[in-house]
A and B are shown apart, each in its own frame.
Chain A
Amino acid sequence: MPLETISLEDISFHLTEMLDVKRLCSRDRFSEHDEAVFDAVLKTAEQIAGDLFAPHNQKADQNEPTFDGEKVHIIPEVKDALAAYIDAGFMGIQHDYDVGGMQLPASVAMSCSAIFNSANVGTAGYPFLTIGASNVLRTYGSDEQKHRFMEPMIEGRFFGTMCLSEPQAGSSLSDIKTQAVPQDDGTYRITGNKMWISAGEHELSENIIHLVLAKVPGGPAGVKGISLFIVPKFLVNDDGSIGERNDVSLAGLNHKMGYRGTTNTLLNFGENEGAVGYLIGEEHKGLFYMFHMMNEARIGVGLGAVSLGYAGYLYSLEYAKNRPQGRHPDGKDPTSDQLMLIEHADIKRLLLAQKAAVEGGLALCLYAADLVDDENTSPNEKDRAEASLLLDTLTPVVKSWPSEFCLEANKHAIQILGGYGYTRDYPVEQYYRDNRLNYS
């Protein structure tokens, strides 16, 4: 099915005319690619999003995941869509060839993620978390950790999570209480509760790799004493096979106003013998590792907001073109034909406001993604440093501006649909609810 939730023409405009991404193909990392490859990847994303993501967007919202005390149940369409996503290689879109990745630029990867997000942000949440977690391991994991945990994520057999927040510590991570006690064998035992964990439990993958922030007893107070651990749902044997269940359990699902397709969980670590955890990098540097990765994740959050804004904009645009209603202020003749909504100046204002927000937001997010590519692969040191500084300065805006103003765009989409906009028979109220959660 053609994808109606984002404009491929606009995405190509950014990649080709604004950012000239084909310039990246002269760099070693991307030398096997050309524009045709980028186009083909975008087309594949569009096709999978249109055929398998968009059709169950509403169904997943209306049938949110349930927990029967043992297992989480999710409508089967989610797993089918993700199977196609995985088969096409999207889990490894930015990873190296030698671990099974596609080694594509961040700007192209982020464009694909905009496509999937616009079609179905709840289902796209699982790969979003998995890619985020596998990126942390790529940068900071040991070779052994990459082999055991990251490579299966790239294959799509394992999914990932980010476990930062706790019931008593959300914004203020210096107050987390989860503890990690070192063992003689070099592993740690993790105990504590993690709240709001997206994709924290499901049956969509063979295993779930939690990346968990915790404190090693005796370490410095505050954020300087936070370390990062790999805590798998199932231990992984030396030969790569799935081992025993680790001591991580689902205390319950949170029921949210939006993003309902992505499970959101309260997880208990170490209620019994203590969950087995493996330290990433060095002790006490966990927050640094997490936030380095979070820069890319924050572009992802901004882009999520843009994508939902875009979907609402395009839907309300089509609606405005086809809905006859009313006459101009000076049109006194009640027997004359009604105008289409799009002929009214105030409706055009609502459309322009949406267009300015979502296309402006897309420009910023893809510009930021392009800076990630320059930061990582620009041939000269000075350009890399400049990209990095620009990115650090702009990243807060990349996350916050779309979250605020593309949500506003979704409000305008509802307004254009009038009474119909508030009903569940039309998709715009869901876009608004979904987008409100990007603000967190």
Chain B
Amino acid sequence: MMNNGAGLKLVAQKITETIEQANKYDKLSEFAATLKNSLDTIIETTLKVGKELEKGHVNLALANATLYLDMFGHMVIGWHWLRMAIVATEKLSDNDAKNPDFYHGKLVACQYFYRYEMPRIKPWSDLIKSIDDTTFKTSAEIF
């Protein structure tokens, strides 16, 4: 995925469309801003890892690939929560929801994900960007 520049660009474009839609609703702007931040963070992280790969430090650059996938995954899920929150907001403002609690539930769960889970992206990114060599350099003998 880290090598897949075109794929990441397309995901970024789709996420940006969602952010723009969400910004139409005051209640969602907090989440839209967080998602924008996370997207920027992940692009920056990806570029940093990409540079390391270009330098030929492939094994070191990919030492934390699992963490990258978790971080990227959190952003993607955050994106889908915002997509759901937009639909729920529209539904509730139209006043035609058969079961309003269902949509309120979507908004609360979205808020939960953004306040409790999205902040994990930053420390993941800090570690990955630092191209940390703790695990890479650890010798099998020390265990």
Contact = CB atoms under 8 A, between A and B. Distances in A.
A binds B: yes
Interface of A: 9, 13, 17-18, 349, 352-353, 355-356, 359-361, 363-364, 367, 386, 389-390, 392-394, 396-397, 400-401, 404-405
Contacts of B126: none
27 contacts: A9-B99, A9-B102, A18-B87, A352-B108, A352-B116, A353-B116, A355-B105, A355-B112, A356-B113, A356-B116, A356-B117, A359-B84, A359-B109, A364-B77, A390-B7, A390-B14, A392-B7, A393-B7, A394-B76, A397-B72, A397-B73, A400-B70, A401-B70, A401-B74, A401-B77, A404-B73, A405-B77
Contacts, number: 80
B36 interface: no
Nearest to A394: B76
B5 to A, nearest CB: 10
Given A18-B83, A400-B70, 15 more contacts: A352-B109, A352-B112, A353-B112, A363-B84, A390-B7, A392-B7, A393-B4, A393-B10, A394-B11, A396-B69, A397-B69, A397-B76, A400-B73, A405-B73, A405-B77
Contact of A17 (B70, B73, B74, B91): B91
Given A9-B99, A18-B83, A389-B6, A356 B1 contact: no
Contact of B10 (A13, A363, A389): A389
Nearest to A392: B7
Contacts of B73: 397, 400-401, 404-405
Contacts of B99: 9
Given A356-B117, A360-B113, A364-B77, A393 B84 contact: no
Nearest to A363: B80
Contacts of B11: 390, 393-394
Contacts of B4: 392-393
B140 to A, nearest CB: 18
A364 B14 contact: no
Contacts of A397: 69, 72-73, 76
Nearest to A9: B102
B102 A386 contact: no
Contacts of A13: 87, 102
Contacts of A353: 112, 116
B74 to A, nearest CB: 8
Contacts of B105: 355
A361 B7 CA distance: 20
Nearest to B75: A397
B84 to A, nearest CB: 6
B31 interface: no
Interface of B: 1, 4, 6-8, 10-11, 14, 69-70, 72-74, 76-77, 80-81, 83-84, 87, 91, 99, 102, 105-106, 108-110, 112-113, 116-117
A366 to B, nearest CB: 10
A384 B117 CA distance: 33
Contacts of A401: 70, 73-74, 76-77
A397 B117 CA distance: 16
Contacts of A392: 4, 7
Contacts of B76: 364, 394, 397, 401
Find the residue from B1, B10, B73, B110 having the highest chain A CB count within 10 A.
B73
A137 B129 CA distance: 43
Contacts of A361: 77
B69 A360 contact: no
Contact of A356 (B10, B72, B87, B109): B109
A349 B116 CA distance: 10
B125 to A, nearest CB: 16
Given A389-B10, A393-B10, A397-B73, A363 B91 contact: no
Find the residue from A13, A353, A400 having the highest chain B CB count within 10 A.
A13
A126 B81 CA distance: 32
A390 B7 CA distance: 6
Contacts of B116: 349, 352-353, 356
A392 B7 CA distance: 8
A214 to B, nearest CB: 29
Contact of B77 (A9, A360, A393): A360
Contacts of A405: 73, 77
B81 A356 contact: yes
Contacts of A363: 77, 80-81, 83-84
A361 to B, nearest CB: 7
Given A363-B83, A386-B10, A396 B1 contact: yes
Contacts of A367: 80
Contacts of B112: 352-353, 355-356
A128 B102 CA distance: 31
A397 B71 CA distance: 10
Nearest to B66: A400
A355 B109 contact: yes
Contacts of B69: 396-397, 400
A425 B2 CA distance: 45
A390 B116 CA distance: 27
B83 A393 contact: no
Nearest to B8: A393
